Amino acid sequence: MGDLESSKIDHENHLLLDQPLISLPIELLRKNLRSARFEVEKDGSYVKETLKRTATESVSGRISPPDVIKTLDSMIARMRGVKRKLTAFSDEEKRLHQHEEARVKHLAELYDMYSIDDVKYEGWSRTRLDRLLTDYMLRQGYIDSARALAERRQMELLVDVDTFEQMNRIRQCILNGSVQEALTWCTAGDTKKELRKMDSNLEFMLRYQQYIEIVRNRSRINPGEALAHARKHLYPYISTYNKEVMHACGLLAMLPEHADRVEAYRELYSPARWQKLADLFTETHNSLLSLPSIPLLHIALSSGLSALKTPACHSIHPNSAAAPSHHTSLSLAASVCPICSTELNELARNVPHALHSKSHVEPELRLLPNGRVYGLARLEEYAKKAGLSEDKIKDLRTGEVYGADELKKVFIS
């Protein structure tokens, strides 16, 4: 009965980690729709205004008929452009719907299984592991490997290669000392509005870095440029970023070669800022799309390690006689402890133990003279199989034979 209980699939808990799988395409669909609406509104208001103006001018005779036709042609061209853009948005929507459909189907497959002993379960959980590995590689920037794995396992619709590829490309640009690509991302469509809602400081920090670079290279750049940049992109935000703006002003008087003496300015000229900026971008990108900030593989691995870890796994004298390694004293089925394996032992060192609220003990325990404990029923069954007489029993593990009168009852208190 106990085994049946532990192999039962608790679907809701099983899918706890899979929320982003379903939510990302929905977030992207929303983003896509918002961007499409942005384009329609932008060009729509242009056409409406031009139409109104041309009509008024035409009625009052301030514009000649050929010029009216020219303006109308330009409006038609503009609308064709909108149609082209909308076609691209529509294709993207179709692609995202395909992703969502495949993901729902994949998760629904689990609901057809009730036990982890189901033959289909192994394949399903293998796909899940591959998904986690792909997610991990995408986040670490191993895009080609992630794509190859997704193709090999035919699970392209279950992973988000395109999203992370774009993210990595922009991140790499920042690390190479360019903020332009990230600024374009910040201001494309209505992302700017969304970032403002999140109180994001990404755009400001990118502009700030741009300013630092202008000041750093002041000998080669028109000196007025730094002031113009500060007036346009930094000064309007002085109430929110007071310290940064003040430092920006001071930076003008501090050449890079002299900045070493003052910590605040040394920090501003430091190349380490690019790494921080890249991390800020990744963080902003992920929270805009409601993606977890750490790879799902890390979450799955740490909860798995925690569930399997026992206090004995990191005991100081694992092999001494006084504290025998715990996996030799447990039941036969658990003869190998994954946490004690060389691969996982070090990884598990800092994770907490799980709180096991249930434990299973065989009924009617008997203590053998060699210190081992087994359930009476199992001892009797094993003795019978071994062909021993009724007053003898045999240790299931060591094979030692004892008289039945040498057994002692065990009480757990």
Contact between 184 and 192 (Cβ < 8 Å): no
* Residue with smaller CB distance to Zn ion, 321 or 336: 336
User: Considering the complex, what minimum distance in angstroms separates the CB of residue 373 from Zn ion?
Assistant: 19
Decide whether 158 or 348 has the Cβ nearer to Zn ion. Answer: 348
Helices (H) and strands (E) in the chain, counts: 18, 5
Cα–Cα distance between 372 and 369 in angstroms, integer? 7
Q: Which of residues 108 and 332 has its CB atom nearest to Zn ion in the complex? A: 332
CB of 2 to Zn ion, least distance (A): 21
Q: Which of 24, 36, 340, 396 lies at the binding interface for Zn ion (CB under 5 A)?
A: 340
**Single residue of 28, 146, 212, 339 touching Zn ion by CB under 5 A:** 339
**By CB under 5 A, residue 305 contacts Zn ion:** no
Q: Which residue is nearest to Zn ion (CB)?
A: 337
DSSP three-state, residue 336: coil
Contact present, 300 and 17 (Cβ < 8 Å):
yes
Closer CB to Zn ion, residue 348 or residue 396? Answer: 348
Identify the three-state secondary structure at position 241: coil
Give the total residue count for the chain: 413
Stretch that binds Zn ion, among 43-51, 80-88, 249-257, 305-313 (CB under 5 A): 305-313
Footprint of Zn ion on 198-237 (CB under 5 A) = none
Residue 344 binding Zn ion, by CB under 5 A: no
CB 375 within 8 A of CB 412: no
Cβ neighbours for 26, distance < 8 A, ≥ 6 positions apart: 100
> Residue 8 gets which letter from DSSP?
B
For residue 226, how many other CB atoms are within 10 A of its CB?
22
Quote the least distance from Cβ 325 to Zn ion, whole Å. 7
Taking contact as CB under 5 A, which single stretch among the options 133-141, 155-163, 225-233, 331-339 is the one that binds Zn ion?
A: 331-339
DSSP states of 351-395 as a string?
SPPP--------SSEEE-TTS-EEEHHHHHHHHHHTT--TTEEE-
Min CB(308)–Zn ion separation in Å: 8
- CB-nearer residue toward Zn ion: 62 or 317: 317
- Sequence-ordered list of residues with C-beta below 8 angstroms from that of 383, at least 6 positions apart, any chain: 390, 392, 393, 394
Does position 337 interact with Zn ion (CB under 5 A)? The reply is yes
Residue 179 or 340 having the CB closest to Zn ion: 340
With contacts defined by CB under 5 A, how many residues of the chain interact with Zn ion?
Answer: 4
Segment near Zn ion (CB under 5 A); pick from 54-62, 173-181, 202-210, 311-319: 311-319
Which CB atom, from 202 or from 337, has the smaller least distance to Zn ion?
337
| Residues in contact with Zn ion by the rule CB under 5 A | 313, 337, 339-340
